[in-house]
Structure 1
Amino acid sequence: MRAAVLRKGSIVVDTLPDPVPVEGQVLVRTRACGICGTDLHAAKHRQQFVNLAKRAGNRWAMDADRDVVFGHEFCAEVVEYGPETPARLPPGTLVCSMPMTLAGETVQGIGYSNDIAGGFAQYMPLADRMLLPVPNGLSATHAALTEPIAVGWHAVQTARLTPDDVPLVVGCGPVGLAVIAGLVIRDVHPIIAADYSPGRRALALKMGADLAIDPAEVSPYETWRQAATPEGYDPSRYAQLFGLGPKLRPAVIFECVGVPGVIQQIMEGAPPAARIVVVGVCMQTDRTEPFFGIVKQLNVQFVLAYTAQEFAESLHHIAEGKVNVTPLVTGTVGLDGVNQAFAELANPERHAKVMVDPWA
């Protein structure tokens, strides 16, 4: 099979042996796979990625000196079943799966493994028990967005939202857009989005944000205060001390940037008692001043990935039209175009999500 391989820091297209499914596995043909921001970072800073993963408990056991085939946002079609594995789904069935497979009782990750190729390859050995048939005639391209949408859905589910909350999404890359999609599903409004990129702000509105602002021109936190302030609100310390009059609506701020300094900026700008949900993956050393969190009694929650139920729910949200993923897909490339796509994704005005078709 052909695959786009990260080899010594460069992405090359090569021919690899076809995977052979073992008992409990299904050989699938990759139909579409998204390029994730984590892929970009792992390719550019692969040794740092490996070192951090080891310090964090080896969630991604990747060897930076060996070949790896990325791709964990995928949709595929069933080809054949491994030995002694009942054929639950007919060949050609479109399926999604969380990016992992099972060999006996061993769980193996897909996307950052040196031993199992991810979705930038033509074939993968997935676990039968983890396959989800794609419903409602959904296209492979849109079904492949289940994984990134599930990341946003998990963040929203973890935020313990109430109807009174006013959410602020800081950063409107694919992660922030997925969070906006989750907020739309939960029907929590107004949704305020902030990003320096005009293109990303436009996408935020298409995904369901009520307001998209440029932080270079308007403070996201002042915009939030205007939206969260009820008529008759008295901000004086006396009124707040004795609970007089209406109160500000609660703040839930989603950090979806993942670069140093943003968490500190949010802590400084957030109103008292705000809940901060950190979704962006920052892989550099960062600095915060706990004083702001203490004085304001902020709640900071870090989130990662999703549960199996949230993944399945995300597929159905897309298939049932609760999430409009069409604006997210801004390009499609074959294996020969993966290297160039990695370069172009560094420009937020060029792309949101580039899909890889290994057969194009």
Structure 2
Amino acid sequence: MRAAVLNSGRVFVRDDIAEPRPGAGQVLVRVKACGICGSDLHFARHGAEMLALGRQMSGLPFQADEVDLARDVHMGHEFAAEVLEVGPDTETDLSPGELVTSFPLLLAENGPAPIVYSNTVHGGYGERMLLSAPLVLPVPNGLPAHHAALTEPMAVGLHAVNLAAPTGEGAVVLGCGPVGLAVIAALRTRGVAPIVAADFSPARRRLAGRLGAHHVVDPAAETGWAAWRRVGGDRRLVVFEAVGVPGVLNDVLRHAPAGSQVVVVGVCMGDDVINPYFAVTKQLAVRFAFGYEPAEFAESLRAIADGDVDVAPLVTARVGLDDVPWAFDALGDPEEHCKIIVEP
């Protein structure tokens, strides 16, 4: 079958990928749509660094298999697909032709394998892939595949908001890339107000307003903090740091009102420096968010299918496999693209 793969830092399309075969508890699906995630772009450029940092960590719930960057790496974890075949000894109500999505994890005899970066587990940038039947969710309400594929990135924002559990506070969202936009959408569904969003990109600011931000500012003209003082005064709030650039977190600690929560959802890959005095003096609660829970993934799908979250504005292009290398380059310009959907 055909698939776009990463090999030695380059994305290209191969025509000779081995066909996946479903085993017990698995479902073979035909990929209908797969979003390109910012983490995929980052892995393509900085995969060796990310793997090195991963080797330094302990305490993870499970350790993914090591990835060889000199071999084909399969990616694509924001997907919707059509059921083709149910594996042997698999108890499921799924039937061929059904449109589904899934929590991106493949359950296997030797342990769970994330569907994210792998030399062996196929992802959504290929024509077909395997899913674990217990984790598969039917796509309801006739939701189109290219919208259902955005269940995964919207679940990231939902998880960050759930960790904060805002109770009447407003929110400031710094950075309106896909993760920041997902946070804004989740805040709106939770009834949080006011929501102040800040980003240097005019295109991202427009999307922030469409996703539910009440006040959207260009930090070059008015900082998010100045905008918050204008609309929220000095009362506490929840700050979502979705930039992931060194220095931003320390700036948040310096300017956030006393008693506020800070949720870091942007991934800063470099070393950063903070002054704890800011957080201690103002008794700030700081936590870091990553991924989502299966229940949040299901809730995200329901919110999109029911129309509570409109993901249509996020989709700026839909391409075939042959255009995946172009799409990886094109996503470097936030004025042109937010989410490019691959339709194998």
| TM-score of Structure 1 vs Structure 2, range by shorter chain | over 0.9
Q: Which position in structure 1 is the counterpart of 2:203?
A: 199
Residues 1:137 and 2:142 are matched in the alignment: yes
Q: 2:116, 2:44 → 1: CA distance?
A: 12
Residues 1:120 and 2:138 are matched in the alignment: no
Q: Residue 34 of structure 1: CA displacement?
A: 0.5
- Equivalent residues of 1:172, 1:200 under 8 A apart: yes
Q: Which position in structure 1 is the counterpart of 2:103?
A: 98
Residues 1:344 and 2:342 are matched in the alignment: no
- Equivalent residues of 2:198, 2:223 under 8 A apart: no
Q: 1:334, 1:354 → 2: CA distance?
A: 10
Residues 1:324 and 2:280 are matched in the alignment: no
SS in 1 for 2:54: helix
Aligned CA distance change for structure 1 residues 295 and 60 (closer, same or farther; 3 Å): farther
- Equivalent residues of 1:275, 1:300 under 8 A apart: yes
Q: Which position in structure 2 is the counterpart of 1:166?
A: 170
Q: Residue 267 of structure 1: CA displacement?
A: 1.2
Residues 1:47 and 2:48 are matched in the alignment: yes
- Equivalent residues of 1:23, 1:103 under 8 A apart: no
Residues 1:109 and 2:114 are matched in the alignment: yes
Amino acid at match of 1:174: P
SS in 2 for 1:13: strand
The worse-fitting range, judged by mean Cα deviation, of 181-190 and 282-291 is 282-291
SS in 2 for 1:254: strand
Q: Residue 105 of structure 1: CA displacement?
A: 6.2
Question: TM-score, length-normalised on structure 2?
Answer: 0.96
Q: Among 209, 227, 232, which residue is 1:228 paired with?
A: 232
SS in 1 for 2:74: coil
Q: Which position in structure 1 is the counterpart of 2:69?
A: 64
Aligned CA distance change for structure 1 residues 105 and 8 (closer, same or farther; 3 Å): closer
Q: Which position in structure 2 is the counterpart of 1:289?
A: 275
Amino acid at match of 1:219: T
SS in 1 for 2:203: helix
SS in 2 for 1:277: strand
Question: TM-score, length-normalised on structure 1?
Answer: 0.92
- Equivalent residues of 1:167, 1:190 under 8 A apart: yes
- Equivalent residues of 1:61, 1:112 under 8 A apart: no
Q: Residue 56 of structure 1: CA displacement?
A: 2.6
Q: Residue 270 of structure 1: CA displacement?
A: 1.1
Q: 2:282, 2:64 → 1: CA distance?
A: 34
Structure 1 unaligned residues grouped into runs of 5+: 230-247
Q: Among 181, 184, 205, which residue is 2:185 paired with?
A: 181
Cα deviations across residues 79-104 of structure 1 (Å, max 9, x unaligned)?
00112224521101011101111123
Amino acid at match of 1:154: H
- Equivalent residues of 2:330, 2:337 under 8 A apart: yes
Cα deviations across residues 261-302 of structure 1 (Å, max 9, x unaligned)?
111111112111211000111111111111211122111110
SS in 1 for 2:121: coil
Residues 1:5 and 2:5 are matched in the alignment: yes
Q: 1:86, 1:314 → 2: CA distance?
A: 25
Q: Residue 161 of structure 1: CA displacement?
A: 0.5
Q: How many residues align?
A: 339
- Structure 1 runs (4+) deviating above 3 angstroms are 57-61
Aligned CA distance change for structure 1 residues 196 and 313 (closer, same or farther; 3 Å): same
- Equivalent residues of 1:28, 1:126 under 8 A apart: yes
Q: Which position in structure 2 is the counterpart of 1:26?
A: 27
Q: 1:350, 1:254 → 2: CA distance?
A: 24
Q: Which position in structure 1 is the counterpart of 2:239?
A: 253
Question: Which is higher, the Rg of structure 1 or of structure 2?
Answer: 1
- Equivalent residues of 1:6, 1:12 under 8 A apart: yes
Q: Which position in structure 1 is the counterpart of 2:298?
A: 312
Amino acid at match of 1:167: A
How much identity, in percent, do the aligned residues show?
Answer: 51
* CA RMSD, 1 decimal: 1.2
- Equivalent residues of 2:240, 2:263 under 8 A apart: yes
Q: Among 145, 152, 155, which residue is 1:150 paired with?
A: 155
Q: Among 75, 84, 92, which residue is 2:89 paired with?
A: 84
Structure 2 unaligned residues grouped into runs of 5+: none
SS in 1 for 2:112: strand
Q: Which position in structure 2 is the counterpart of 1:278?
A: 264
Q: 1:309, 1:215 → 2: CA distance?
A: 35
Q: Which position in structure 1 is the counterpart of 2:39?
A: 38
Amino acid at match of 1:3: A
Q: 1:301, 1:133 → 2: CA distance?
A: 33
- Equivalent residues of 1:22, 1:103 under 8 A apart: no
- Equivalent residues of 1:153, 1:314 under 8 A apart: yes
Q: 1:23, 1:105 → 2: CA distance?
A: 14
